[in-house]
Amino acid sequence: MIDSGESDPMMPKPRGVRAGESVPLDPKGALVWSDRIAERLTKNAIRDGDGAAWIGLDPLADGGGWQLVALGYDLYGGAPGIALFLAAHA
C-alpha cells in the first residue's frame, strides 16, 4: 500500500482517493516514477570523470536553518543510497 500522495505535491493523487487514504501500488505507475526519479538524479549529478556527486541540505547546528553540502557516505541520506538506487534501476 502507498500513501495517497497528500504529503508530496509532485505525486499525483489517484482520482477518488481522500487525503491520508491508502491505495494499492500500481506496478506500472511505480516503474514510471522510478524512471522519473532516476532521470532527475542523473541530470542533477555533479560529474568529474567517472565519478558523480550530489548536493543536498544539511541542518545547521543551531537549528536555525539549512546549508547546502555535498552528500555524505551514509546509505540512507548519502551518495551510496543514490548509487544503489541507480544500479538497481539500470
The per-residue pLDDT for range 56-70, each reduced to its tens digit, is 999 999 989 999 999
Beta bridge partners of 51: 48
> The pTM is what?
0.67
Answer with the residue of higher pLDDT: 22 or 35.
Answer: 35
Q: Cell 522519473 belongs to which residue?
A: 36
Determine the average pLDDT of the residues in 8-28: 73
Q: Which residues have CB under 8 Å from 57's CB, separation 6+?
A: 66, 67, 68, 69
Contact 79, 53 (CB under 8 A): yes
DSSP state of 76: T
